[in-house]
Structure 1
Amino acid sequence: MNQPLRRIAWITDPHFDHAKLDVWQSWTAKLLDLDPDAILITGDLSEGDDVAYQLRCLAETLNRPIHFVLGNHDFYGKSIASTRRDLIALCRDVPQLTYLTDHPAVTLNASTVLIGDDGWGDATEGDYAGSIVRLNDFQLIEDFRTSNPDSWQSLLNAEGRAAADRIAEKLRNLPDEITQVLIATHVPPFREACWYEGQTTDDNWAPFFVCGQLGRVLRTAAEQAPKRKHVVLCGHTHHDGVAQMTDNLVVHTGFSRYGSLEIESMLSIEEDIIELSRPTICFP
């Protein structure tokens, strides 16, 4: 096994395209001061081709492992398939980068692994038919922009199902000695983890802000492996909160604000515990 990753800096929804250069420079300098063993980003890095550019810049500047999943904004201006294909190719060229959606479990220590998937607001929670919400996704992601609106619900459902299937396979392949699994995703997998100003989502927003099929996979995995801890990190809502779903399944949803860059939490990874502490630092 490689050197254990004991300290990981968790970043979510940085939206680098909204941050000025001096903010980015201050933020990366603080990350270097904190000196984590690795960086974990749970989606919405930027938009379109700028996502790859930002990842290259981070790899060159930080020079340590960067594990990431994508958020809905990362697909803007392109198709879902082409975006993923381009970033898979990027990771082959830049060894510091790991796209978790396309990667098996990453070993953190003898008892702990990291897995991840983009996830998607999959229209399986809340009231899709009655919702007045229409995200920019439908105009800015090619899969939706070039298809009939009547098919959008099916497309959302299919993306959520694919994410759930990929995570389910990764969980099934974990050896028995793994007693802790850190799960990175963009979209909250439960309504109870979809926070906004201290409250959880309603039926209007849930179809687009909860990946219900992934939540069901996670709940089943926790039930089937009661001695294994499942710690989920997600974003998407830009509001933070913690949802303790079962004794061995907890979801941390991270904070973000356009134009500032946050270090959501520092993770301390030991063989019997995963602890999160927030640096409470932002760079407006």
Structure 2
Amino acid sequence: MFVTRKNKNLFAALTATALLVTTVACSPQTQATGSDQVQVLAAFYPLAFVAEHIGGERVSVTTLTPAGAEPHDLELAPAHTRKIGEADLVLFQTAFQPAVDEAVRARDPKNVIDSAHLATLALDPEHSHADEEGGEDDHDHGPNDPHFWLDPELLSSYAGEVAEELSTLDPAGATEYAANLEQLQLSLEHLDQDYSDGLATCKTRSIVLTHAAFGYPAQRYDFDQIAIIGVDPEAEPSPAKLKNVAATIGELGINTIFFETLVSPKVAQTLAGDLGISTEVLDPIEGLTEPDTSYFTIMESNLDALRTGMQCS
């Protein structure tokens, strides 16, 4: 199980905290269930997913980005900005959603977890905004790929941080948070093994996709991503970029172009049609588009799509 040393120590600390519950039950920082749930405000889905799984019924989680919306383009109403200042815990990621960054600076909430420190994978140095049209309006993601949650091990580390913070805010729930953390991390370990096994033997170790969102799984499971657009899912590729990608597809024998759920598939479908190859969906899980899906179901669907596109046995 890929629980870090810090999280192993966390289990012991949380258990010790739970033994002290009777002495802190009336403390102002102690939270109860029902109307006194810990109020967590998550900027977008993967952060909310973790908080919900760790917190269970002791936590009420609100997500700023609506289901089906592109999180990069989120605009906040004054009521949403106020909620950031009122929440017991705010989960966000610097440089991923400018409106949220601005609101966090303005409201200065007491308790925050900024997941940006987990997003350490540098963007492809070969990618240039010169390859895209309308580059002046591109989203600024900072120097690194923000999509750390597509690596199960990194998401497991993030879950440990959330459990630790919730236990500080709600000592009475420490045992429950520790148990929920252990269960979530075990599920993430199984998911990681599914990917390692499923992508072990493949005809090609390169994928072509519209949005450069899969750098973390590419690094962890040893394949290359070739992005048509780059990290900004709404940019338009230049004719020169399309020509280069088409040549690469031919050279590597790639038979699939991937596109994602929250942006137009037009670029991928047009290029695939011109080349006589297939398209598949790879979902970066920035938000949900279907009510019966979750992080785990989408990650398994992504694995199936990768196995098809990479021609794995």
Does the alignment reach a TM-score above 0.5? no
Larger proportion of strand: 1
Please say which structure displays the higher CA radius of gyration.
Answer: 2
TM-score by length of 2: 0.29
TM-score by length of 1: 0.31
Larger proportion of helix: 2
